[in-house]
Structure 1
Amino acid sequence: MLDSQAGTVVKPGEGRLAHAPADHPSVKRAKIGVLLANLGTPDNYDYWSMRRYLSEFLSDKRVIDYPSWKWQPLLQLIILTKRPFSSGANYKLIWNHELNESPLMTITKAQTSKIAEALSALYDGEIMVDFCMRYGNPSTESKVREMVKAGCEKILFFPLYPHYAGATSATANDQFFRALMKETRQPAARTVAEYFDHPKYIEALATSVEAVYRTLPVKPDVLVASYHGMPKRYLMSGDPYHCQCAKTSRLLRERLGWDKGAIDTTFQSVFGPEEWLKPYTVEHVAELAKKGKKNIAVIAPAFSADCIETLEEINGEIRESFEHAGGETFTYIPCLNDDRLHIDALVSIIEENLLGWIART
């Protein structure tokens, strides 16, 4: 059992320090929290739900770093009058209508449940596992508050992004630290670093490719690894995202035992007028079709869970670009989601980051 404080004992089930006066506030049994974090999701696909979500997302300086005086009028008066309609229509196409939530929410809940089950077996229930979203609900602040109230004196914060980027990992950490600033009794805190080259992550990716390829009557001419894009100037200013994506593709190819050129690294979700990381996936797949690569597969290694960018953008816009250019067979390989090997990889990464805080039971 974890000690709640050095030199003190908590009476089981009572929540009160031994030897404390009768009017002393109750003290929760000390725990360690593991807080998983993903990008976020609108509460629904109607106009106002989409507008709230997009406003929060596109107002983040880590995502759009233009000066506020220049960006906010454009965002609030023009972009957010139109984009909630188009984005809402896209979300409606992939929405989990049975549970009335986005696929990202459904998958994140499943991941959290399986990780919690695995950690409970390893640490005899001493770990509290939950998830939050950087944008939308449940908020990072609300989940940090719940963990502190539940007695978590240590919190491991885990952004579910295999690759580091200012607009993903960094902004998630920013929000976590802002939440900690509001706590009277701050827990000790750690953040999990990117895991783009972790052997178990690469193994899970490779196994997912092999599993899909075994079902195909014709082997694809090329595997396109499509990563979320970012403005090129972020790379030039020192963001390591591009290099980490390239390494993941190389490690995946090596694990699969394929020759050079068997995997193409591309970038999707371009937004705005400036140059982003290239090649752009939507253009690259069309070029492949025109060059005679009529059968391709696409995987999205930067996403830990299927979401609007994979289920709608890759399986919609990018697929259409390939087919309109003469492509014949387009195979999308789903994200790792709550696959067993993915959960095993995430649990291993959590274990590594808990070293020194707690030992296995």
Structure 2
Amino acid sequence: METPTTARRLDRLPKAHLHLHFTGSMRHSTLVELAGERGVHLPQALVEEWPPRLRATDERGWFRFQRLYDIARSVLRRPEDMYRLLREAAEDEREAGSAWLEIQVDPSGYASLFDGLTATLELILDAARAAERDTGVAVGLMVAANRTRHPLDAKALARLARQYAGKGVVSFGLNNDERRGRAREFEGAFRIARRAGLLSAPHGGELQGPRSVRECLDELSADRIGHGVRAVEDPYLVERIATQEVTLEICPTSNVGLGVYEDLEHLPLRRLFEAGVPIALGTDDPLLFGPRLVEQYRIAREVFGFSDAELAALAGMSIRGSGAPDALKKELLGGVEAWLASEPEPVPDATPGASRPPGRA
């Protein structure tokens, strides 16, 4: 597919980012700097060979992915590190045209450093407010449980999230390897979160197929599903998702980087969009996959041939599916309309396929 010689700038398209993990949002340069300061040895996959070549469709591959993630998390040891991470994440969102960042975090991963779960969540919420003041990007928090841990741990996190509903926490999630914890086991935690008015946004349909997605809908009453791409294997499920207007948080470079699909062309982005499924493009963990949010929209344009009207529709879906305040949603949706009404600009050094993102095994 040829790159157009004129196009509306994607970094000026208002959008929301709904699928970004806390540690995984860290800039690579920040990881290297903090590792040097803290005496943390980084493997070559996080230094000269970055971004690492990953594949998580088998247990060994997932273990390697998780090991790299845990090493990265180990450099975040002081309160100022948390403030820096969120400020830089918000700066990156602003550059991408995102005005709402819904970042997900499991506070238990940092609780031993910062005096327990409650103190950790309050630290992160304060860092989010500071990032919002510094950048103008509104930041909401998703408290996310780890499906490889006991469901009682998830209930404790749901009760914690409930305490801060309306005070910065807007959603409740469930992450990590689907093969090691079914969604139905966490129904109690999500019931607590939903009763507090929090959006339900579990991961599903990434490393496992349609059954994982159905459980998120049936057992967790999902408003959004992290990834969800493998729902495409069941046409009736796709129709249900579209009818119920459940937003799928699709992360193209992550899905290819982890081996869910062999290359970008096989990602069912176009099929799901044309089936009427609400889609919010996300990055998942740019620290490990490389490209950030605006590149995901570029993939939609250059690999899947999305027109500017369709890209604007994607941006609108991300905004509507977010936990942002209604007033902000209205403002951003107006900005999307204004972007689409603007004139395209010349693309610098436009050559056919020049900026096409490569596929990765």
Normalising by structure 2, report the TM-score. Answer: 0.32
- Larger RCO of the pair (alpha carbons < 8 Å, separation 6+): 2
Name the larger-Rg structure: 1
Which structure shows the bigger proportion of residues in helix conformation?
Answer: 2
Normalising by structure 1, report the TM-score. Answer: 0.32
